[in-house]
Structure 1
Amino acid sequence: MSAYKDKTQGTWYVSFRYVDWTGKKTQKLKRGFKTKKEALNYEKEFIRKTAADMKMEMNSFIQIYFE
């Protein structure tokens, strides 16, 4: 897991690499989380969504289904 504290803003951010649906390695950066736990949960759910893993949360599954 890769959550970091932004000392200038006082918030957390995640930076990680993943393999997209075309098989290309891509880097993702998302800032502005209030807690480390929120940042890590975002990273975990994002990776599950892109991997089409059925262990994702129900809300994420419904969003993907309707898209």
Structure 2
Amino acid sequence: MTEPRGDETVELLQTLIRNACVNDGHMDSGQEIRNADVLTTYLEGAGIEVQQYHAAPGRTSLVARIEGT
């Protein structure tokens, strides 16, 4: 059985919320790169393959691939 990771999960979510990556429809809004970088570090630390795609400065999408069985 997997060990609970409550504290780690709460810390990660707090960081993501504090980054305030909100898209209000303006070109300079969003700044998803802040959360993409946090999640990339977290997922790569768990051995998960991650790729970032940059549509525009600060506007980043993240793709994580978890190998199946």
Asked if TM exceeds 0.5, the reply is no
Q: TM-score, normalised by structure 2?
A: 0.31
Greater relative contact order structure (CA < 8 Å, 6+ sep): 1
The structure with the largest strand share of the pair is 1
Q: TM-score, normalised by structure 1?
A: 0.31
